[in-house]
Amino acid sequence: MSSDRGFTLVEVMISLFIIAILTAGGTTLIMRTVSSKESLERVSGDVSVYASLHTRIRDDLLQWVPRAAESRPGIDPKVRFLGGGVGDSTMLFAFVRDGWTNPELAEPRSSLMSVRYSFEGDRLIRRVQTAADTPYSSEGLEQVLMEGVRDAFVEFREGQQWVPQWRSTEGDPFGAPPAVRLTFVRNDGEEFEWLFLTPTGALL
């Protein structure tokens, strides 16, 4: 009589049950890994956007110069720093900055340019005119720095308090506020509050 025999139905069922458990566990682990990777990529992308926005604003404000200009010639007043929606509810702040490179002075122009930040719709926008007194109708550079913004506003340091608007005229001892505070809220409810120094603040 042969001693060989096949698997019983019970043994086959138990084997299939064990394989099903291992497969389910492996699938769950793979799904969690994929989800974690997607979350990490999303967070990394957000961090990159935030870092770029913060760096751009910081660098612009640190290169402010006490040069009176009209942010929108014929529309805005001629000031050295304009902020907080004065005459334009979408505007955050506007000023003239230095630092526009001109290697070997190849172009017949100065290193000054006008910069204007605004909050329009759900976007934070930076507009640049390649001269301090460029006509408003001329074509400039517009850069959308961030989308998906629910609200954004700025405040300016004046003495021991923060004020919602800033307009510096020729007679002011300091043209720019010592510090600028930008607050913005994303559509997902996440809120950010950033503080920036200007050259005025760096000298105090």
pTM: 0.72
For the domain spanning 58-203, the CATH number is 3.10.610.10
Q: CA 163, CA 201: separation in Å to the nearest integer?
A: 15
CA distance 132 to 2: 101
> pLDDT, tens digit, for every residue of 111-139?
788 899 999 999 999 998 877 776 555 56
pLDDT at 161 over 80: yes
Encoded tokens for 142 = 């517009």
Q: Where are the domains of the chain?
A: 58-203
Q: Which residues lie closer than 8 Å to 190 by C-beta, 6 or more apart? A: none
